Chain A
Amino acid sequence: MLDKKLKWIFNTFSGSVFNTVISTFCIVLLFFVINNLLGFISNSEWAVVTENRRLLLIGRMPQEEEWRAWSILWISSFLIFSSLKSFISPSKKELTFIFLIVMILCLIFTTESSIFKVIITLMISSFSYLLTKYISDTPIIHKFNKFLIFLWIFLVPLVFCLLLIADGPKPTLWGGFLLNIILASVAIGIGFPLGLLFALGRASSLPAIKIVCTVYIETIRGAPLVAWLLLAWFVLPKFLPEFWGLNDISVVVRAMIILSAFTSAYTAEVIRGGLQSIPKGQIEAADSLNLNVFTKTSIIILPQAIRVVIPALISTFIGVFKDTSLVFILALTDLLQVGRIIPEQDPEFFGKALEALSVVAFMFWIVSIALSNLSSRVEKSMGIGTR
C-alpha cells in the first residue's frame, strides 16, 4: 500500500523536467487554495447562514409549515439512500465522499431547535441504506426495487400533495433550495418526455408534424430563458382565457410551464442527435421483421438513441437545474436570490455576501456533482452490449 503511494509520488515527479515543474507548481497552488479556504471557513462568521437556515432551504414558508419540508426531506432521504445502495452500490471511496458531504450539510444547517429532526433524517438515511443492503441478497429486492422506481416516478406529485394538503402555504411562498429542486424536477419530468416526442416529430416523415415540431423547437431555443420568463410575467396572463381563472395562474405554475417548455426544446435537440446516430440497418432489420412503428420506436430506436446521448442529456439537466435560479425574474425567492438578498437587506448581516453565496454555490455544486456522477454510472452500466 505504502509502496504504491511512494511509487505514485515518484511517478508524479519523475519524467521530464517539464513534468516535474508542472507537478510542483500544481501542488503549491493546491496548498495555497486549501490554506486560504480553511482560513476563510474558520475566520468567517457563519451566523448569516445558520440564522437564515429556513430561508435558504425553504424560502418564506412560515415556521408552522416547516413540517411539510421535513416530511419531504425524510421521504427523499429514504429514497435517495435506498436507491444509492440498490441501483448504484457506491465504493468505499464514494461512500466516504457522500458521508463527508452529509456531515458538512449538517454542520452548516443544524441549529439547536432542529437537532432532533436532523438526527431523525440521519437515522432514516443510514437505516434505509442498511436495510437495502440487508435485503439485497434476498428475493424481496426485486419487489423493493420496483417500489423504489414507482416512488421516484410519483415523488413530485407526492411533494405537491405534501406542500398543498391541509391548507398549505401559497406557492409564491415556496422558495429557497426546495423551490429550485421542485422547479427542476417538474421541468425535467415534463420536459424530457415532451422532448422525446418533439425529437421524434422532427425526425418524422410527415411534413405537417415535422414543421410544427421544428418551429416549436427553434422558437423556444431562439430566445434566452430570461426573455421567456419575462414573457410569462407580462404577457402570458393576457393570452390565457379568463375562465377557471387561468389568466391569473400562479407565477410558480408559469415558471414551471416556461422551464418545461425550455427543457423540452433542448432535450429534443439532444435526442435528435442520438436518433441520427442510429444506423439505417437497425430500422431495416426492424422493418424486415414486421415490427410496428410503436415497437420499432420504443424498443429499437429510442433506447439506443438515448444511450448515446446520456452525457449530453445530463449536462442539459444540470443546466436546467442551475437555470431555475432565474425565476427571481418572476419575483420568486429561490436559493440564489435568498443568498443575494439577506446580506443586502438584513442590517444584521450586512457585507456577509461571500459567506451566504458560498453556501449557495456549495448547494448547487452538490446537486450538479451528484447528477454528473449518476451520468457516468449509468453510462458504465449500459456499456455492456454496445457495439
Chain B
Amino acid sequence: MKNKSKKQIGNEIISTDNITKSFGKFQALKGITSKIYEQEVVVVFGPSGSGKSTYIRTLNRLEPHDSGKIIVDGVEITDDVKNLQHVRSNVGMVFQQFNLFPHLSVLRNITLAPQKVKGLKRSDADEVAMNLLKRVGIPEQASKFPSQLSGGQQQRLAIARALAMQPKIMLFDEPTSALDPEMIKEVLEVMTELAESGMTMICVTHEMGFAREVADRFLFFDEGLIVEEGTPDHFFNNPQEDRTKLFLSQIL
C-alpha cells in the first residue's frame, strides 16, 4: 500500500469495446468493455470458466476476437500482420504452465527473442539476459536447462523472458496456480517489484493478499461479462453485486 498513493496513473493504453468471443456455440465473452491505463495494475478474477483467460488472450491475439474493438498502444488489433507485430512486441505474457522452451538453456530462453526479433547482437542480448536474471533472482542458473529449475524459478525465468522484449504491458494468466505454496511467494515478490517499477500489468490471479496490496483496480468476471469493477477497498469493504459477494465469500 505504501507506494500506491504516490503512483501516477497515466494515459489509456488498452481499450476494449464490447468484445465477444465464441467457441462453437458457447459464448465465452459476451461483450467486454474495459479500459486500462499506463502504469496501472489490474487484477482480473472470477469463477472458473468465466472467460478471464480468454479475455487477456484476446489482448495479444492468441485468441482472435469475434466482434468488438481492441486498441492496444494506439493500434487496433485486426488480421493485419503489421498491427499484430506492433501489439505483440509491446505486450509480454506469462502463462500458468510457464511454457518455457525446454530444449534451450535458461539464458537462450531469454536471448532468443531479442536476438531474432530485435536483431540484438549476441553479446548485448546476453548482457540484457544476465541483468534480467539478476532482477528475478536466479543469475546462477543461466547455463542450466529449464527442467533443472524449481517451479518458482521457472516462472521467474518466464517473467524474465517476457521482460527481455521490453514490453509496455505485461499479461499474467494465473502465474502461481501451478506452483507449490512455498514457491508462490518468490514469484509474487518479483511481480510486486515489477508493479512498483511502474509496469502496466493485467493479472488473472486469486492470490487476494497480493492483489489487495498491489492492484489499483479489480475486474470481477462471471459468465463472460465484467460483473463489477473497482478499487480493492471497494471489493473488500462493500461489494455491490450478489455474485461478487458470493464468490468473495468462497475464496477468502
Contacts and interface: CB of A to CB of B under 8 A. Distances in A.
Contacts of B100: 285
Contacts of A387: 102, 146-147
Nearest to B61: A287
Interface in B165-188: 165
Contact of A299 (B85, B88, B112): B112
Contacts of B103: 303-304, 307, 385-386
Contacts of B113: 289-291
B116 A288 contact: no
Interface in B108-145: 112-113, 116-117, 145
B91 A288 contact: yes
- Would you call the interface of chain A mostly helix, strand, loop, or mixed? helix
A288 B113 CA distance: 10
Contacts of B91: 288
Contact of B165 (A289, A300, A307, A384): A289
B102 A385 contact: yes
A289 B117 contact: yes
Contact of B88 (A279, A282, A290): A290
Given A287-B62, A292-B117, A304 B92 contact: no
Given A295-B116, A303-B103, A288 B147 contact: no
A288 B62 contact: yes
B97 interface: yes
Nearest to A387: B102
Interface in A292-336: 292, 295, 299-300, 303-304, 307
B83 to A, nearest CB: 12
Interface string A38-64: 000000000000000000000000000
B88 A281 contact: no
A167 interface: no
B145 A384 contact: yes
Central interface residue in B85, B91, B116, B161, by most chain A CB within 10 Å:
B116
Contacts of B93: 284-285, 288
Contacts of B145: 384-385
Contacts of B117: 289-292, 295
Interface residues of A, number: 21
Given A289-B112, A292-B116, A281 B161 contact: no
B85 A290 contact: yes
B162 interface: yes
A275 to B, nearest CB: 15
A295 B104 CA distance: 14
Interface in A227-286: 279, 281-282, 284-285
A27 B251 CA distance: 67
Contacts of A386: 102-103, 147
B243 to A, nearest CB: 30
| 4 A-B pairs closest in CB distance | A385-B145, A281-B99, A285-B99, A288-B93
Interface of B: 60, 62, 85, 88-89, 91-93, 95, 97, 99-105, 112-113, 116-117, 145-147, 161-162, 165
14 contacts: A279-B99, A288-B62, A288-B88, A290-B165, A291-B113, A295-B112, A295-B116, A295-B117, A299-B116, A303-B103, A304-B103, A385-B146, A385-B147, A386-B103
